[in-house]
């Protein structure tokens, strides 16, 4: 983290420790020790896992939580590195962009949990007999859940860098490398951080889901909160599940307070506004660091390294010719490139067909599509229900600033909480009251994602201009007319953003929500999620591929035909200010 | 200073064209010659779209010329040349860097080591009057202070040539004037670490106040219409008779070529369907007609006087004048704006009658308006998509200009109640809701 380095005063006193030093120092050393400890565990041989199986003793929970957190950290680091590289290439090279951006769009809608099947096998083979392979598979699952929207955001920022700043970097002879660190990255920072936060929220869900994996007859249980819960389900231990939920609550609060809030407060300076913002975000953690002289001194080498790295005279090729350069891109090379891409696509399609047709027939495809449509129906009904419930509540809260201030963090927190930890509680109820699984398992899909709708609506209602509200009041607009003419159009863009996230999350959740178990009782709802989950458990790879492909296509179609036009409408017509 | 005139920048027969919407090329700069020697401030003065900014960017190495030669100290300009620094209209400061970091940026790129960098940056900050603000972020500063950072950032690399792209046009009148005087003071005291300055502006008084030579550009395509030497000693007085004469003279030259265009000649950019319309609100047009008709002007105004009274830039008042001239409500000549008979009549009419008169003039004198109305009348559905007209416009102009022209068409057409336009479906229609 690069803190503000330059100060004219305070020279000479900079190294004398102050009151805050002790606290901050312990935080740093503690974090280091934890990371090293967790890291040591991951390189242990796989047999170690069998010797010390996951136990339900609550005393072990802090350590399990630590392992879970480290996986998350590693994944976010990987996601960030990937984002920088992928987005930079896509933004700088026109030909790469033609392939990379649509690819990204599809990858966004791939059900990550379906992925696990392949990645576990792959990574286990990469590091045979070591925990590392399973760990990496888990990290990779989280990575795939986080990285796409971050990459998208970075790419869009890089394409929208203000022209005058671009000209300034050129005019002052900044190299491509310098420009990347001095202009592209800082400009992309606010969007990137927001998306990283959204990704983290989603990520907890997957980290929990990926810790206890069964593929065919291989079962890997990585120590973590997720595997703890899986064991608790097996042993029908409801108190253990409650402990796990509490541990997770603490972890998310700590993550938010110790990592994300400071980063957001720090990144406020990257917001591309020429005027000071009214109410900048604050963080006690960042204040702690800024007030701590010795710690600030510790950060100095880091900023020096940061500077040195960004000033390395590495000349990156200027791949994208500036828009007004004279040279026209060569048609011939374009043609060759297009042909290559088409050939690659055709080969991949043929390969997929060949693989699938070897063991599956048309009836299988029809079953997958039928199940897909059932899950689609679930998603639509659930989003509609959540809308009916949360939009009025969100508006009511959002229009009361005092209340919104208190509720908003709670809603964001609930969105981040991995809902799959709470599934058993519901499953117990379903089992006990003998409810219909097809109906009552469905709400689990939206348990964790409905909060996106709520907090976006709250944000929209809070941002609704007071003068418009007053105008509506003075014209005696009330009741139904007030909803349809005033507030609903006002919050529409926010609502759509929330609903898109919620619907994407629900598709993913269907894989763990449509099948549930409690001890020996197994509940099964018909749907594409259950189809994929079943195929994964049976190690039936062709069916897994078919299920994932079907879900991909459905999600992409649904996004293109429903969400994107709505989003465009909201941005074009209803964005206030 | 002019004893040993060595050419710093030499521009010979430079042309530059950009692709139009239709795929053809639109010429924005035609055969421009320019030499910048050591020790002078040269101004490029012209209307927006006259290619003066493009010329500046060619010299800055940000745009390559389509033909002709551009050299800096005898070397062909490929990419930003060494010894040339730029000040931007929008400041172009990095909001996440402090004032000091912004100023140091150019030196970092040159690989100057950090102690030297700090020293030079502080000197530049000191020189430009920013001391005390080193650790501030740009968003904490006022516009004038921000542009000072822009100047310090350019000066710190000790460029031979300082390029300024309308550096004062984003500032308010008072701030701009302070900054101009400060800069000129430093220049005549010889304290600026630069040899020459090239500035782009559309403010006539600013050019006369600061420059030793002013190149007046004409539009469509951009060409150097005339070169004016300003042989007044600094500091110059705006109220000086010779100063006023020069300003009037330049106003006259800039309005000279703006003869009424024949709407019948098609195929030539700027006439017929291909006429570029600048968006001017019908409210402003009516207001200007009323002002012109009322005392003290009584139908006849001197442009510089009118501009200063209405607080318009030269460029803006010329746009307004040209729009009125296009609609035959007024006549521009020799730096004066005179109401026509129709204009006088318009000033004394009620709202509905004004709309009717405006509509008549639109149909008669703006070919694209006539075309849209004709198409709408002929079609049985009385509707037509905007794309149909956009395509036609893009045969003559760039996409940006087609955009602006269409926007103008919609806004004037709505005022005149000639047709309706639905923004969502992008359709013109004859419906009158």
Instruction: Tell me which DSSP letter residue A184 carries.
Output: I
Q: Are A551 and A372 in contact (CB under 8 A)?
A: yes
Q: Which of B234, B117, B283 is nearest to A172 (CA)?
A: B117
Instruction: Tell me which DSSP letter residue B40 carries.
Output: -
3-state secondary structure of B201: strand
Q: Which of A309, A272, A321 is nearest to A177 (CA)?
A: A309
Please give the residue of chain B at the shortest CA–CA distance from A569.
Answer: B424
> How many residues are listed for chain A in this entry?
577
Predicted TM-score of the model (pTM):
0.78
- pLDDT on residue B44: 93
Tell me the chain A residues in contact with residue B169 when contact means C-beta distances shorter than 8 Å.
none
- pLDDT on residue A84: 93
B111 touches chain A (CB under 8 A): yes
A273 touches chain B (CB under 8 A): yes
Least confident of A39-53, A129-143, A198-212, A423-437: A39-53
Q: Percent of chain A scored above 70 by pLDDT?
A: 81
- The yes-or-no verdict on residue B433 having pLDDT over 70 is no
- pLDDT on residue A568: 85
Please give the residue of chain B at the shortest CA–CA distance from A164.
Answer: B92
With tokens 């693989």, the residue in question is A355
Banded pLDDT at B167 (limits 50, 70, 90): very high
Contact A164 B134 (CB under 8 A): no
Return phi, psi of residue B66, to 5°. Answer: -75, -35
CA distance B280 to A465: 29
Banded pLDDT at B59 (limits 50, 70, 90): very high
B62 touches chain A (CB under 8 A): yes
Give mean pLDDT, residues A309-333. Answer: 57
Give mean pLDDT, residues A138-161. Answer: 87
CA distance A234 to A212: 12
Of B63, B86, B108, Cβ closest to residue A324:
B63
Tell me the chain B residues in contact with residue A313 when contact means C-beta distances shorter than 8 Å.
111
pLDDT tens-place string over residues A161-192: 888 899 999 888 888 888 888 899 999 988 88
- The yes-or-no verdict on residue B69 having pLDDT over 60 is yes
- pLDDT on residue B151: 93
Sheet-wide strand order for B300-302: B300-302, B336-339, B330-333
* Preferred mutation among A165, A168, A178, A331 to probe B, highest tally of B CBs within 10 A: A168
CA distance B239 to A284: 59
- The yes-or-no verdict on residue A322 having pLDDT over 50 is no
- The yes-or-no verdict on residue A445 having pLDDT over 80 is yes
In chain A the first and final C-alpha atoms are separated, in Å, by 34
Of A269, A322, A324, Cβ closest to residue B137:
A269
Tell me the chain A residues in contact with residue B139 when contact means C-beta distances shorter than 8 Å.
273-276
Give mean pLDDT, residues A111-119. Answer: 74
Of A171, A173, A324, Cβ closest to residue B110:
A173
Give mean pLDDT, residues B219-223. Answer: 80
Banded pLDDT at A470 (limits 50, 70, 90): confident
- pLDDT on residue A457: 92
Give mean pLDDT, residues B402-416. Answer: 89
In chain B the first and final C-alpha atoms are separated, in Å, by 69
CA distances from A239 to A422, A432, A448 (A): 12, 17, 21
Return phi, psi of residue B76, to 5°. Answer: -60, 135
- pLDDT on residue A564: 85
Average pLDDT, chain B: 85
Please give the residue of chain A at the shortest CA–CA distance from B18.
Answer: A324
A178 touches chain B (CB under 8 A): yes
ipTM, two decimals, is 0.76
Chain B stretch 313-352, residues whose beta carbon is closer than 8 A to a beta carbon of chain A? none
With tokens 């951006």, the residue in question is A101
Of A171, A271, A275, Cβ closest to residue B60:
A171
State how beta strands B41-45 and B196-201 pair: parallel
Q: What angle do CA A507, A148, A311 make, to 5 degrees?
A: 165
Give mean pLDDT, residues B327-350. Answer: 88
Contact A322 B62 (CB under 8 A): yes
- The yes-or-no verdict on residue B156 having pLDDT over 50 is yes
Return phi, psi of residue B49, to 5°. Answer: 85, 10
Of A274, A313, A326, Cβ closest to residue B95:
A274
Give mean pLDDT, residues B389-402. Answer: 81
- pLDDT on residue A524: 86
What per-residue string of b and e applies to B302-335 under the rule 16 or more CB within 10 Å gives b?
A: ebbebbeeeebbbbbbbbbbbbbbbbebbbbeeb
Contact A8 B134 (CB under 8 A): yes
CA distance A491 to A395: 8
List Cβ neighbours of B164 (8 Å cut-off, separation of 6 or more): B86, B87, B197, B198, B199, B200
Return phi, psi of residue A263, to 5°. Answer: -65, -40
- pLDDT on residue A15: 47
pLDDT tens-place string over residues A224-247: 888 888 888 888 888 888 888 888
**How far A270 CA lies from chain B's nearest CA (Å)?**
5
Q: Percent of chain A scored above 90 by pLDDT?
A: 9
pLDDT tens-place string over residues A509-529: 888 888 888 878 888 889 998
Of B88, B139, B157, Cβ closest to residue A273:
B139
Of A162, A269, A325, Cβ closest to residue B96:
A269
- The yes-or-no verdict on residue B112 having pLDDT over 70 is yes
* Preferred mutation among B95, B157, B165, B422 to probe A, highest tally of A CBs within 10 A: B95
- pLDDT on residue A11: 38
CA distance A209 to A71: 12
Contact B105 A8 (CB under 8 A): no
List Cβ neighbours of A378 (8 Å cut-off, separation of 6 or more): A442, A445, A506, A510, A527
- pLDDT on residue A391: 95
- pLDDT on residue A549: 85
B226 touches chain A (CB under 8 A): no
pLDDT tens-place string over residues A419-430: 877 888 888 888
Chain B stretch 396-425, residues whose beta carbon is closer than 8 A to a beta carbon of chain A? 424
Contact A170 B110 (CB under 8 A): no
Please give the residue of chain B at the shortest CA–CA distance from A6.
Answer: B135
Write down the H helix ranges in A127-213: 131-159, 163-171, 176-179, 185-209
pLDDT tens-place string over residues A352-410: 888 888 888 888 889 999 999 999 999 999 999 999 999 999 999 988 888 888 888 88
Q: Percent of chain B scored above 70 by pLDDT?
A: 93
- pLDDT on residue A415: 80
Tell me the chain B residues in contact with residue A186 when contact means C-beta distances shorter than 8 Å.
94, 96
- pLDDT on residue B3: 43
CA distances from A547 to A46, A146, A275, A503, B261 (A): 31, 22, 50, 18, 67
A311 touches chain B (CB under 8 A): yes
Tell me the chain B residues in contact with residue A168 when contact means C-beta distances shorter than 8 Å.
86, 88, 92, 94
More confident site: B5 or A493: A493
- pLDDT on residue A121: 77
Give mean pLDDT, residues B288-306. Answer: 87
pLDDT tens-place string over residues A525-559: 899 989 988 888 887 888 888 888 888 888 888 88
Helix (H) or strand (E) holding B238: none
**How far B65 CA lies from chain A's nearest CA (Å)?**
8
Q: Percent of chain B scored above 90 by pLDDT?
A: 26
- The yes-or-no verdict on residue B259 having pLDDT over 50 is no
3-state secondary structure of B315: helix
**How far A313 CA lies from chain B's nearest CA (Å)?**
8
B84 touches chain A (CB under 8 A): yes
- pLDDT on residue B184: 92
A173 touches chain B (CB under 8 A): yes
């Amino acid at each position: 983290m690069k803190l503000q380095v330059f100060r004219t005063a305070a020279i000479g006193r900079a190294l004398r420790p102050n009151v805050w030093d002790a606290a901050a120092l312990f935080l740093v050393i503690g974090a280091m020790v934890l990371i090293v400890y967790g890291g040591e565990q991951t390189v242990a041989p796989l047999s170690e896992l069998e010797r010390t199986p996951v136990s339900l003793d609550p005393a072990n929970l802090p350590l399990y939580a630590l392992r879970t957190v480290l996986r998350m950290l590693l994944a976010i680091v990987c996601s960030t590195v990937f984002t920088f590289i992928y987005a930079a290439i896509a933004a700088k090279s026109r030909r790469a962009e033609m392939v990379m951006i649509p690819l990204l769009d599809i990858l966004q809608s791939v059900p990550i949990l379906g992925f696990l099947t392949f990645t576990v096998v792959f990574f286990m083979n990469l590091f045979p007999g070591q925990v590392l392979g399973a760990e990496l598979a888990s990290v990779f699952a989280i990575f795939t859940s986080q990285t796409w929207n971050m990459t998208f955001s970075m790419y869009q920022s890089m394409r929208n860098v203000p022209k005058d700043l671009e000209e300034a970097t050129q005019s002052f002879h900044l190299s491509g490398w310098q420009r990347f660190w001095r202009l592209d990255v800082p400009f992309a920072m606010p969007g990137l951080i927001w998306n990283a936060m959204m990704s983290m929220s989603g990520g907890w869900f997957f980290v929990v889901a990926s810790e206890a994996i069964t593929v065919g007859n291989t079962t890997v249980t990585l120590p973590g909160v997720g595997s703890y819960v899986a064991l608790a389900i097996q042993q029908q231990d409801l108190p253990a599940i409650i402990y796990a939920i509490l541990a997770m609550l603490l972890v998310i609060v700590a993550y938010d307070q110790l990592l994300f809030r400071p980063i957001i407060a720090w990144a406020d300076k990257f917001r591309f506004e020429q005027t000071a913002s009214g109410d900048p975000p604050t963080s006690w953690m960042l204040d702690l660091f800024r007030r701590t002289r010795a710690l600030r001194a510790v950060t100095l080498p880091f900023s020096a390294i940061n500077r040195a790295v960004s000033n390395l005279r590495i000349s990156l090729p200027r791949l994208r010719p500036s828009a007004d350069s004279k040279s026209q891109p060569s048609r011939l090379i374009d043609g060759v490139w297009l042909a290559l891409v088409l050939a690659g696509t055709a080969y991949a399609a043929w390969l997929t067909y060949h693989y699938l047709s070897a063991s599956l027939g048309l009836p299988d495809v029809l079953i997958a599509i039928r199940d897909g449509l059932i899950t689609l129906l679930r998603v639509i009904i659930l989003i509609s229900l959540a809308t009916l419930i949360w939009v009025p509540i969100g508006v009511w809260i959002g229009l009361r600033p005092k209340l919104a201030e208190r509720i908003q963090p709670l809603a964001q927190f609930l969105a981040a909480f991995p809902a799959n930890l709470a599934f058993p509680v519901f499953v117990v109820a379903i089992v006990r009251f003998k409810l219909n699984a097809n109906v009552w398992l469905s709400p689990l899909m939206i348990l964790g994602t409905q909060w996106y709708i709520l907090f976006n609506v709250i944000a929209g209602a809070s941002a609704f201009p007071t003068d418009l509200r007053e105008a509506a009041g003075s014209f005696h607009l009330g009741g139904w007319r007030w909803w349809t003419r005033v507030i609903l159009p006002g919050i529409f863009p926010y609502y759509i953003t929330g609903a898109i996230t919620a619907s994407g999350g629900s598709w993913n959740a269907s894989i763990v929500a449509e099948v549930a178990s409690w001890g020996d009782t197994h509940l099964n709802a018909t749907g594409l999620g259950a189809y994929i989950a079943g195929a994964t458990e049976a190690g039936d790879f062709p069916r897994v591929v078919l299920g994932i492909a079907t879900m991909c296509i459905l999600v992409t179609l649904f996004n293109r035909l429903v969400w994107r036009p709505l989003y465009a409408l909201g941005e074009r017509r209803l964005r206030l200010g | 200073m002019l004893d040993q005139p060595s050419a710093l920048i030499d521009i010979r027969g430079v042309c530059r064209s950009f692709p139009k919407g239709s795929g053809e090329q639109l010429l924005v700069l035609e055969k421009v010659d320019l030499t910048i020697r050591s020790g002078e401030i040269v101004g490029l003065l012209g209307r927006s779209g006259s290619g003066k900014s493009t010329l500046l960017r060619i010299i800055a190495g940000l745009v390559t010329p389509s033909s002709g030669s551009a050299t800096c100290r005898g070397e062909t300009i490929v990419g930003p040349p060494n010894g040339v620094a730029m000040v931007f209209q929008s400041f172009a400061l990095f909001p996440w860097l402090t004032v000091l970091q912004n100023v140091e940026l150019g030196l970092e790129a040159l690989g100057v080591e950090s102690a030297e960098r700090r020293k030079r940056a502080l000197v530049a900050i000191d020189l430009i009057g920013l001391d005390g603000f080193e650790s501030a972020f740009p968003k904490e500063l006022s516009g004038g202070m921000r542009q000072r950072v822009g100047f310090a950032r350019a000066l710190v690399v000790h460029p031979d040539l300082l390029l300024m792209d309308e550096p004062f046009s984003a500032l308010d009148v008072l701030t701009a004037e302070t900054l101009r005087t400060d800069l000129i003071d430093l220049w005549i005291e010889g304290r600026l670490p630069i040899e020459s300055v090239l500035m782009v502006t559309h403010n006539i008084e600013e050019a006369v106040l600061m420059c030793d030579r002013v190149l007046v550009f004409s539009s469509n395509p951009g060409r150097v219409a005339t070169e004016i030497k300003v042989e007044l000693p600094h500091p110059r007085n705006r109220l000086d008779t010779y100063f006023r004469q020069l300003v009037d003279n330049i106003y006259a030259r800039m309005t000279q070529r703006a003869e009424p265009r024949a709407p019948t000649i098609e195929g030539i950019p700027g006439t017929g369907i291909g006429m570029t319309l600048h968006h001017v609100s019908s409210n402003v047009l009516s207001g200007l007609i009323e002002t012109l008709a009322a005392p003290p002007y009584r139908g006849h105004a001197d442009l510089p006087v009118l501009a200063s009274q209405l607080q318009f830039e030269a460029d803006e008042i010329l746009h307004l004048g040209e729009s009125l001239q296009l609609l035959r409500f007024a006549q521009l000549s020799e730096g004066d704006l005179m109401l026509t008979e129709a204009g006088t009549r318009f000033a004394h009419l009620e709202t509905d009658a004004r709309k009717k008169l405006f509509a008549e003039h639109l149909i008669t004198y703006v070919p694209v308006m006539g075309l849209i109305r004709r198409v709408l009348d002929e079609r049985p559905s009385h509707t037509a998509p905007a794309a149909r007209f956009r395509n036609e416009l893009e045969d003559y102009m760039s996409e940006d200009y087609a955009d602006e022209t269409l926007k103008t068409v919609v806004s004037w057409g709505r005022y005149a109640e000639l047709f309706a336009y639905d923004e969502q479906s992008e359709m013109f229609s004859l419906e009158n809701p």
